[in-house]
Amino acid sequence: MGSTETVTRRIAMKKLGALLLAGAVAGAAVLAGCGAPPADNTAASGSYTPDAGYTAGNGDVVQLNGFRSIDIEWVSGQVNVELYDGEGISLTETLADGSPVGQAMEWRVDEDDSTLDVRSQPKLVSLAEEKILTVQLPRSMVLYELDIETVSAGVSVDLTDEDTLSLSELDVTSVSGAISVYAANAGEIALSTTSGAIEGSVRTQKLEADSVSGSIDLTLDTLPAEVDAETTDGNIVMQLRDLSTLPSPLPVEFKTTSGKLSSDVTLTTVQDAAWEFQTVSGNVNLCTIK
């Protein structure tokens, strides 16, 4: 199996996971309305029992042996990931106006696989507040994977001031939220949303980006070895910053029903190219940054 196909399958599984997350919230609401025994939760008072092994509320998490991955599941609102000068991973949440939340998030450290799991709420809680989660990562952190799944929450990953942070895989999946990623230096980056837009600037060897009804607008700070971008009716714009390794002509595969491909670099369209673009009616534009 090719590496692009592997990334594509992983994105499909992430989409399924986000949809299952949305279904779980809806299912909890249905159970709550059908006379099922309520979970030991009272969001109105801010008091409930977290899922087994989880801690409720904000936290500053330090893992002596380091973390392999961070896994975030967030239902509604916004997820922001940024760098800071601290030593632990800082987790804070507020409502949009900055006021305290009524229903605290929960998190746990899985010692077996060195993973930090973060959820917007326990699985049996049906009420979903629109909460802003801010995750602050130490600049010198070494992390294999950052995995973010949301339902109706937007996602912003801002590693613009990145110094020594090392990240192998970045996966962001949202059902209806917009995704913005800036200077995310990772070996593989996969960004997927159903109705939101995808934007930002990336440094990666393998890029996967797809949106059903939203647009994709990304600056490629370095030239990826593989690109796979797909939309239905949204346009795709890839801005090329570093041309030092750009082949001429650049081999691309373009599949579309009625969209158009344009570029200010020399292209050649071939099957099974490492750079693949697919739309139904959306246009694709590859342009250089002057």
pLDDT digits (tens, 9 = 90+) for 241-284: 999 999 999 999 999 999 999 999 999 999 999 999 999 999 99
Task: Collapse the DSSP code of 16 into the 3-class scheme (helix H, G, I; strand E, B; otherwise coil) and give the result.
Answer: helix
Check: CB of residue 236 under 8 Å from CB of residue 286.
no
Q: pLDDT tens-digit profile of 16-51?
A: 555 555 554 444 433 334 444 444 444 333 557 889
Check: CB of residue 277 under 8 Å from CB of residue 216.
no
Q: Which amino acid is at 148?
A: I
Residue range 166-186: mean pLDDT, rounded = 93
DSSP-assigned letter for residue 161 = T
Q: Which amino acid is at 156?
A: S
Report how far residue 155's alpha carbon sits from residue 178's, in angstroms, rounded to the nearest whole number. 6
Q: pTM score, two decimals?
A: 0.84
Q: pLDDT tens-digit profile of 76-113?
A: 999 999 999 888 899 999 998 888 898 899 999 998 88
Q: Which residues pair with 186 in a beta bridge?
A: 167, 204
Share of the chain above pLDDT 70, in %: 81
Q: First CA to last CA across the chain, in angstroms?
A: 37
Per-residue pLDDT, 12: 52
C-alpha closest to that of 231 among 197, 275, 190, 200: 197
